[in-house]
Structure 1
Amino acid sequence: MTSSNKSAVDIAHVYRGTFVHSTDHTAVEILEDRLLGVDTEGKIAFIGSGQEVGSLSQKWGFEALAVTQLGQYEFFMPGMVDTHIHASQYSYAGTALDLPLLQWLNTYTFPVEACYKDLAFARNVYTHVVKRTLRNGTTTACYFATIHTDASLLLGQIANDFGQRALVGKVCMDTNNFVPHYRETPDESHDETNRFISEMLKKKYPLVMPVVTPRFALSCSAALLGHLGEIAKNNHLHIQVSFASL
């Protein structure tokens, strides 16, 4: 095989089996006995028939014996997207379900979220969150963190380290009167949101971006909501919020 016959793209992995996805024209498309090649940047380089393994290996420069073969009852599908996940609540997932929302927030959620000021605590929980969501097939997540800027930046770092695509939000809330030790002043929320965005954008993560995150209407003053809207507009960022929680 001459170098002129080989693709210039370096192939890192090749998989053979059944692939399930959706297109603009059909809700579900099932591709049986296909070969899918992934390049060294993690992007799909090619997809072809499994019967063409010989010609594809010559064209793309991979060894046919190195192909990963899926089992009879296995298949690939696109990664799942979780559009609303409170990473800070993972430590008590599935528990503390005995109260309605507002009482639940004040009794369980806000006191636990206050603990994320401790970066060791935050690292432990956030590492488990990212690993678990990836293991369950969530390759993209829109995360609510907490009001703590450094812990929120840490969540972004962990998502990047594990290769998860993520929008990470430092939570903003200046009207939480029920748990006084877990709230910000309007100026603190404004300034720390700007710091969070600036610090994360400096990292130039390929898959992780900041997102402006007012928690929900009852936790943010009208003035703060206006400031956060301007921050999002000025930085060309998305906004995430619990819009209809009650």
Structure 2
Amino acid sequence: MTQGEQTTDGTTRAPAGRSVLVTGGNRGIGRAIAEEFRANGDRVAITYRSGEPPAGFLAVQADVTDAASLDAAFTAIEAEHGPVEVVVANAGITRDTLLLRMSEEDFTSVLDTNLTGAFRVVKRAARGMIRLKKGRVVLISSVVGLYGSPGQINYAASKAGLVGIARSLTRELGSRNITANVVAPGFINTEMTAELPEKQQQEYKANIPAGRFAETEEVAKVVRWIASDEAAYISGAVIPVDGGLGMGH
């Protein structure tokens, strides 16, 4: 954070921080990312599709598959926090099944949320960033998008596509002080992984050089850093947070 500003009465006022938006910020990795930015002193908004959002954030209900819904969410966030300076495209779904059992709807629905949804979010955020002549775009991918996984052709395709978005966006908007990077988590300690049978968890961990799953906070800190001034000269990069599982693939 920057140092506070001096007020007319000589006291120090806390800095306002940046306007940050995390899509799908109501649970899991998205919530951890939102909390990390809030702890950094930023003004954090989250979007959520259903359920009850966590307290302490500007929470706006939105669906990344609906451009009008997203536009309304951005308008509400901009009215409260100003133009979005950091956007984290995190919202995503899975519909896992083997190729021969995967319906076309299974495939297209995952791509519409995970890949086209990220496109919609980035396109809307870019308007304000171009006017500001600065911005940070972080796309949450997965080791699966680089490494592959049986039963996840739809998910892997959607997460791999985010790399193309980040690198093309870097070439389009890099001269305007806008960076675009990808963070690719591996296996993370969440409610979903906790429900896996112990034997299956051990099998997964045996393939991870670190020998353990990551905590959501470990992903969140990397996201916060790649969106910071310290990482201003990094763009178009893919940063794995996977304990060595993918080895950068």
State TM-score, norm by structure 1: 0.40
Structure (1 or 2) with the larger CA radius of gyration = 1
TM-score normalised by the chain length of structure 2: 0.39
Larger RCO: Structure 1 or Structure 2 (Cα < 8 Å, ≥ 6 residues apart)? 2
Higher strand share: 1
